[in-house]
């Protein structure tokens, strides 16, 4: 009896071990098959992308060739017509108007030649002038980050040429770039005191007033108006450049003033009222019209539109702000909030990641991290709901629970971050569901897998 029981036990143990081994082998083979399938699908996708790129490149080259041929034909026809016109003009009698046009063109050519000669003479004088050589050495050492040598050169320039205020201005600029505003201000002021009509001194002092943490707009505007008045009557290239710069900065000052007024309208106890929000919006619209190159105007107006419930307008304004400055972290934050309000979770997540990447001063880091975590939780919940819906089985009476195709389509759109136009639902051989969503360009398929929802681009 003992022998028989021992034999039975050993036989049972062998059977169980054999079953375990076969089950483990089946699992490993299944995993290998799924991995091989994934690799083959990935290879097919990459091959399809490469072929698509090649076809697009071929189309572009053919289009370029046809465009070149058409342009060559147009040029040839234009040359023929021009030749005909010139022959007709030569055959016709010369009128007094054609003679005057020739005279004006000759005068313009002479003026241009004179200007070129003057530029060449001034460049030669600068090369031979010791003060220009000293300034050049200072600027060169500043470019090579030898700041001690640059400071020595500029101090020597100030001692040797006290009437030339450029040394004071360049030294103040260097102090300002190093972050020493207290040392730069008296240098700018002494330069202006020595030469009140100097355009460079007026411009540098105005930029000093504008670049601070709390810009002094009134002082900057006074200096810029003087600069504009001094150079607007002259027709030289340098005067035209100064007038253009002064006009640009004056419009910038007007824009900043309107933006500050909108901020005052919003900073009230108990939060801004709807009336205050609307008045601030109107002020920011004026600020944007005054100076559209400032990305802060776009971002501030977008943030205000988001507060008023216009998420679409906020997205457009934040995108225009990022066109002016692709590293503007606050614009990415407002864009992420607006996209989150629209239900575009993937796009909002990428915008918040860009905010985290570009936020060097870490002003919006905590808020962007919090919103990103919230979005990822919502995406995980949407993924889980989609998986649970697709894995619904038959009940005991043979009926299936009702499925909402519109809900599944919405979930795929949220998970992929694209607009799904319509969707189709099929039943797989294992008793589960597979939903296929058709977008404008791509097709997506969602099916339940062994480890969760499998969402792939077909």
Predicted confidence at residue 126, as pLDDT, reads 54
Mean predicted confidence (pLDDT) in 163-191: 91
Calpha distance 229→101 (Å, rounded): 34
Mean predicted confidence (pLDDT) in 98-114: 68
Judge if 131-258 and 294-382 fold alike in CATH terms: yes
Calpha distance 352→330 (Å, rounded): 10
Cβ-count burial 61-74 (b if 16+ within 10 Å, e if not) = eeeeeeeeeeeeee
> In CATH, which of 3.40.50.620, 3.40.50.150, 1.25.40.10, 1.10.760.10 is domain 131-258?
1.25.40.10
Among 37-51, 71-85, 158-172, 366-380, name the one with the lowest average pLDDT.
71-85
Are 252 and 294 a contacting pair, CB within 8 Å?
Answer: yes
Residues ≥6 apart with Cβ < 8 Å to 125: 132
Confidence bin at 451 (pLDDT 50/70/90): confident
Predicted confidence at residue 90, as pLDDT, reads 58
Structure token pair of residue 61:
């080259």
Confidence bin at 317 (pLDDT 50/70/90): very high
Give 136 or 89, the one with higher predicted confidence.
Answer: 136
Q: Render pLDDT for 432-447 as a digit per residue (tens, 0 to 9).
A: 788 888 888 889 888 8
Supply the pTM of this predicted model.
Answer: 0.65
Structure token pair of residue 247:
């006009």
Are 347 and 417 a contacting pair, CB within 8 Å?
Answer: yes
Q: What is the mean pLDDT of the chain?
A: 85
Half-sphere exposure of 73 (CA within 13 A, CB side): 6
Half-sphere exposure of 299 (CA within 13 A, CB side): 21
Mean predicted confidence (pLDDT) in 268-281: 84
Predicted confidence at residue 300, as pLDDT, reads 94
Among 232-246, 307-321, 402-416, name the one with the lowest average pLDDT.
402-416
Mean predicted confidence (pLDDT) in 395-405: 67
Q: Give the residue extent of every domain in the chain.
A: 131-258, 294-382, 403-457
Q: Considering the chain, what percentage of its residues have pLDDT values greater than 70?
A: 89
Confidence bin at 95 (pLDDT 50/70/90): very low
Predicted confidence at residue 288, as pLDDT, reads 95
The position carrying tokens 């040429």 is 161
Q: Render pLDDT for 345-356 as a digit per residue (tens, 0 to 9).
A: 999 999 999 999
Predicted confidence at residue 313, as pLDDT, reads 94
Mean predicted confidence (pLDDT) in 105-116: 69
Residues ≥6 apart with Cβ < 8 Å to 242: 199, 203, 227, 228, 230, 231
The position carrying tokens 């004179």 is 114
Q: Render pLDDT for 204-231 as a digit per residue (tens, 0 to 9).
A: 999 999 987 889 999 999 999 999 999 9
User: What residues form DSSP beta bridges with 435?
Assistant: 425, 446
> In CATH, which of 1.10.150.170, 1.10.1240.10, 3.10.28.10, 1.25.40.10 is domain 294-382?
1.25.40.10
Phi, psi of 156 (to 5 degrees): -65, -40
């Amino acid at each position: 009896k003992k022998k028989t029981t021992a034999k039975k036990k050993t036989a049972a143990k062998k059977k169980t071990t054999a079953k375990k081994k076969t089950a483990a082998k089946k699992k490993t083979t299944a995993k290998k098959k799924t991995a091989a399938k994934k690799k083959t699908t990935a290879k097919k996708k990459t091959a399809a992308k490469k072929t698509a790129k090649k076809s697009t490149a071929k189309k572009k080259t053919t289009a370029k060739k046809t465009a070149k041929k058409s342009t060559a034909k147009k040029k040839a026809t234009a040359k023929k017509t021009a030749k005909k016109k010139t022959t007709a003009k030569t055959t016709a009698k010369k009128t007094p108007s054609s003679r005057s046009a020739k005279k004006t063109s000759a005068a313009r050519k002479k003026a241009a030649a004179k200007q070129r000669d003057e530029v060449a003479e001034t460049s030669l004088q600068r090369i031979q002038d010791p003060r220009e050589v000293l300034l050049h050495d200072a600027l060169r050492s500043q470019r090579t980050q030898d700041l001690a040598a640059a400071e020595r050169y500029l101090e020597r320039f100030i001692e040797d040429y006290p009437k030339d205020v450029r040394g004071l201005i360049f030294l103040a600029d260097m102090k300002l770039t190093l972050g020493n505003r207290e040392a730069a201000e008296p240098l700018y002021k002494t330069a202006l005191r020595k030469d009140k009509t100097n355009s460079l001194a007026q411009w540098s002092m105005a930029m000093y007033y504008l670049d601070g943490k709390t810009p002094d707009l009134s002082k900057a505007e006074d200096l810029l108006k003087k600069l504009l008045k001094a150079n607007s009557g002259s027709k030289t290239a340098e005067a035209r450049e100064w007038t253009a710069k002064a006009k640009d900065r004056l419009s910038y000052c007007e824009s900043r003033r309107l933006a500050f007024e909108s901020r005052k309208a919003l900073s009230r106890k108990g939060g801004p009222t709807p009336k205050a929000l609307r008045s601030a919006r109107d002020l920011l619209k004026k600020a944007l019209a005054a100076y559209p190159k400032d990305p802060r105007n776009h971002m501030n107006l977008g943030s205000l539109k988001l507060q008023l419930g216009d998420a679409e307008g906020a997205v457009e304004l934040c995108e225009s702000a990022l066109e002016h400055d692709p590293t503007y972290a606050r614009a990415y934050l407002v864009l992420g909030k607006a996209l989150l309000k629209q239900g575009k979770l993937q796009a909002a997540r990428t915008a918040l990641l860009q905010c985290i990447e570009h936020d060097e001063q870490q002003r919006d880091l905590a808020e962007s991290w919090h919103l990103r975590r919230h979005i990822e939780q919502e995406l995980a919940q949407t993924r889980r709901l989609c998986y649970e819906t697709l894995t619904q089985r038959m009940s005991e009476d043979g009926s299936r629970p009702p499925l909402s195709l519109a809900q599944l389509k919405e979930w795929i759109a949220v998970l992929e971050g694209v607009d799904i136009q319509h969707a189709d639902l099929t039943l797989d051989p294992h008793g589960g569901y597979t939903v296929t969503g058709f977008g404008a360009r791509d097709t997506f398929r969602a099916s339940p897998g062994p480890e969760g929802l499998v969402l792939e681009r077909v």
